[in-house]
Structure 1
Amino acid sequence: MQPTRAHSSSHGRDSFIDIIRALCVLAVISQHWLMPVLSYEHGHLSTGNALASPGWWIVTWLTQVMPMVFFAGGAANFFSFRAVDSVRDWLRSRIARLLAPVVPLAAVWLLLPHVLVSEGVPAQPVLIAGKIAGQLLWFLAVYLLVIAATPVMFKLYHRHGWRVIGILAVCSLTVDVLRFEVSPAIGYLNALFVWLAAHQFGFHYADGGLRTWTAWKSAALAVTGFGITALVVFFGPYPASMIGMPGAPVSNMSPPTAVMLSLTLGQLGLWLTLKPLLARLAERPFAVTVLRWCGARFMTLYLWHMPALVVTAGVWVVGLGLASPAPGSPTWFAVAPVWVGVTGVFLGCLTKIFGRFETRRDSSQVPPTSPTRIVLAAVLASGGLLGLAAQGFMSPGNPLGPVLWVLMVLSGLLLVRGKGVPRALDVRHSPIRTVPTGIRREGARAITAKAGSEGFAP
């Protein structure tokens, strides 16, 4: 399994992975901004989902891009992990980079709901806003655990190759059977099995296997993946929508079902088929500038795009009393660009203010971090993020709940932050590094052995 050189830009980055990440963030933002159907009357905000309109579920097969987010993350983590000297420092750096942008979000939203209510804003829409601001933190909670598992999954990849994904797929199917037959709560195990499998596909791309596929082979993978998805949706127990819908008895996303793996195959095949076109697009000067700007702010854009939506809804719906048009109507299509444009302006302002927490570089050294501290940091921070995702930043029945969750996240960050981040490990600005062709399987084995020697082997 000899690695090959990635298709890279002049900046030493894999342009295909860069553009996948950028387009996925754009898809997430666009979908979340266009989904809400809102109306406000007598202090009560009514919410609906435009994608619940008849037939619109098919859109989610392309716009539900979390499979590709984890795929791109897997490629990024593989590229950077196999080039480091210290597994502990790599984990510490990755975890710290992931958690740092959460601090300003938590600082704002722990206080803002109470300030708004004290100023006379009705509590019900404020409660909804506080929940929305915290909901998307589920991704960070799961991705944090995936990062913590990367040294182990890296070792398993080099030992067992594609069989790892096969085992994870069997585990996810088993969980689904138990979920439908025994208890829905069992389904949350798939938050690891499904997304670890998608992450593992990124390993196969980074190590050269998937990068060499022809357009025909990639197209066949897309047809197979989407075909399996259609079969299990129309003849199985899975809903057609790839996002959770209001009132639906089952969600394919919360927690994820095994159908997300067939969707991963379909989307991955489609992206690989389009790879030559996307790679050429990524080489254009304007695209290079946009990708570089977005690459340094992906987490900020993700964390603050829903608060930007909250501001727009607060002004437009609550403040001016303008309800959302009926989804799919001519008025809806006419208003959508204005809605997105206004929300984009707010997001640009928020990114300007809070993006520094992600783009700031610190070249100071840090003391060695023990494996125990790293594991404890991952567990604490992941638990806190899950609590915020489930409860939001405002809980009338338990006002100290959000404070506890935020303290857990901060504790995790402090355990790994130390005094700074070594410049050699600053992977934020160049997370998708091409690796010299001289690094062969023997080099990967050496790093794998080092991972075991530092206490992260299975």
Structure 2
Amino acid sequence: MRDLTRRIGAATPADRDRAVDALRALAIGGVVAGHWLVTALVVDSGTVRVASPLRHLPQLAPSSWMFQTLAVFFLVGGWTGARGHAAARARGRTYGQWLGGRMARLSRPVAAVLVVWVLVAVALLASGAGLETVRMLVKLVYSPLWFLLVFAALTAVTPLVAKLHPLWPFAVVALVDLVRYGLGGPAWLGWINLVAGWLVPYCLGAAWGRGRLRGGATGWAMLLGGAAATAALVGWGGYPAAMVGVPGAAISNLNPPTLAAVTFGVAQCGAALLLAGPLRRALRRPAAWAVVAAVNLSAMTIFLWHQTAMIAVTALGLVADAPVPGLHTVPGTLGWLLARLAWLPAFLLALLVCVTAFGVYEHGRPVRERRPAQELEVWRA
């Protein structure tokens, strides 16, 4: 293992910004941990339904701020898109060739999870599972795909938005929320923010990739200003404290993104800029870099299959005679949360099985046959 970590470090290009890879890994980890902690599958009269501890324990809403890391993912996406497109042009590649390569990496693993879950749904229905249970499970797996649709759309317009100032989409989000919540406008206007809201961190990432955005004073201004604006919007603007969706809530900060979600994302982007320097220093250690490289190599597979891993462990728990705490019980107490934390290693083990089985669709060959440092260069294509 020590020899492998040294070889990965030695084979990594000297000019690769390892901090960007670390931020991508942290963003993926936040999404996975957040879903595992705020999503409960409750068995009720033979039907499985989704519940959230944030609905039963609203005092835990601020904890969602730790796990809603999508803005960091879009920040890294903007950095990668701007740098990758510029590098492709320098090598004489056309826009179509560059975009085709990036879309292929997104589409292959998505196709795999779609096909597998169609087969699973058919098998469950054939075995007598209730239609509502199957619908809920499929929705749980497929619902995160909205993120990839938005990410793909922003990637496709990278040459157009790479030079766009993030204040423009920020102003669009503010105007949409003003019309929706302040002037009683139609709710459908909020879906404009699905693009405009995530375009803010994407534009920040593009500016970072082009060398026009750095840490220091800018990072602190974004962190403190975004945090203060978010606190004001939650405290006095009527926005919910939870930065993730809560079943039954009148307003969701995430679906579609609200102004509070965007200001929170700006704060996260500022923190990411400030962390970049320390991360670069920490990742000089071969072992630390090897872990980050491993997560990045399977980033899409981890994102697409983490809900399946949770469902698989929960389904195995159904063999017990009674509902298992932390798996099938109502998430209404702190005891449930402690029990769920104890189940996280099992979820992680199931996810590793999924990555081993389906990681081939992300890179075209099995995990054991990959050459990590070389394949990381896919993000520059």
Q: Do they fold alike, i.e. is TM over 0.5?
A: yes
Aligned counterpart, 1:27: 30
Cα 1:177–1:27 shift into 2, 3 Å: same
Structural mapping, 1:132-211, within 5 Å: 132-154=140-162, 157=163, 164-180=165-181, 181-211=184-214
SS in 2 for 1:82: helix
Distance 1:330 1:232 in 2: 28
SS in 2 for 1:250: coil
Aligned counterpart, 1:322: 324
TM-fit CA distance, 1:428: 6.1
Aligned counterpart, 1:382: none
Aligned counterpart, 1:47: 50
Structural mapping, 1:43-442, within 5 Å: 43-52=46-55, 53-84=57-88, 85=92, 86-154=94-162, 157=163, 164-180=165-181, 181-211=184-214, 213-214=215-216, 217-317=218-318, 321-324=323-326, 331-332=335-336, 334-360=338-364, 429-431=376-378, 433=380
SS in 1 for 2:267: helix
Alpha-carbon deviations, 1:194-225, whole Å to 9, x = none? Answer: 111210000121122323x32x5523431111
TM-fit CA distance, 1:99: 0.9
Aligned counterpart, 1:374: none
Could you state the TM-score of these two structures normalised by the residue count of structure 2? 0.86
Cα 1:241–1:149 shift into 2, 3 Å: same
Distance 1:143 1:10 in 2: 27
TM-fit CA distance, 1:334: 4.3
TM-fit CA distance, 1:121: 3.2
SS in 1 for 2:123: helix
Report the count of equivalent residues: 353
- Are 1:39 and 1:317, in contact at CA under 8 Å, matched by a contact in 2? no
SS in 2 for 1:303: helix
Cα 1:328–1:113 shift into 2, 3 Å: closer
Paired amino acid for 2:95: V
Distance 2:227 2:199 in 1: 20
Cα 1:56–1:304 shift into 2, 3 Å: same
SS in 2 for 1:101: helix
Paired amino acid for 2:228: G
Aligned counterpart, 1:402: none
Paired amino acid for 1:65: T
- Are 2:245 and 2:255, in contact at CA under 8 Å, matched by a contact in 1? yes
Cα 1:165–1:338 shift into 2, 3 Å: same
Paired amino acid for 1:240: A
Cα 1:71–1:121 shift into 2, 3 Å: same
Cα 1:336–1:208 shift into 2, 3 Å: same
- Are 1:40 and 1:323, in contact at CA under 8 Å, matched by a contact in 2? no
Paired amino acid for 2:351: L
SS in 2 for 1:40: strand
- Are 1:243 and 1:252, in contact at CA under 8 Å, matched by a contact in 2? yes
Distance 1:32 1:62 in 2: 12
TM-fit CA distance, 1:432: 5.2
TM-fit CA distance, 1:25: 0.5
Structure 1 stretches lacking a partner, 5+ long: 1-8, 362-426, 435-458
TM-fit CA distance, 1:21: 0.4
Distance 2:120 2:201 in 1: 36
SS in 1 for 2:22: helix
Alpha-carbon deviations, 1:88-128, whole Å to 9, x = none? Answer: 11112111221111111111111211212212334432221
SS in 2 for 1:304: helix
TM-fit CA distance, 1:10: 4.6
- Are 1:97 and 1:428, in contact at CA under 8 Å, matched by a contact in 2? no
Could you state the TM-score of these two structures normalised by the residue count of structure 1? 0.72
SS in 2 for 1:251: coil
Paired amino acid for 2:103: I
Alpha-carbon deviations, 1:16-58, whole Å to 9, x = none? Answer: 1110000110111111111123432431224321233232111
- Are 1:13 and 1:433, in contact at CA under 8 Å, matched by a contact in 2? no
Alpha-carbon deviations, 1:143-199, whole Å to 9, x = none? Answer: 111111111113xx1xxx6xx211111111122223332211111111111111210
Cα 1:23–1:328 shift into 2, 3 Å: farther
Aligned counterpart, 2:370: none
SS in 1 for 2:279: helix
- Are 2:103 and 2:152, in contact at CA under 8 Å, matched by a contact in 1? yes
Cα 1:294–1:77 shift into 2, 3 Å: same
Distance 1:76 1:192 in 2: 18
Distance 1:195 1:123 in 2: 34
Cα 1:194–1:41 shift into 2, 3 Å: closer
Paired amino acid for 2:359: G
- Which region of structure 1 is more displaced relative to structure 2, 91-100 or 333-342? 333-342
Alpha-carbon deviations, 1:395-439, whole Å to 9, x = none? Answer: xxxxxxxxxxxxxxxxxxxxxxxxxxxxxxxx96225559xxxxx
- Are 1:75 and 1:432, in contact at CA under 8 Å, matched by a contact in 2? no
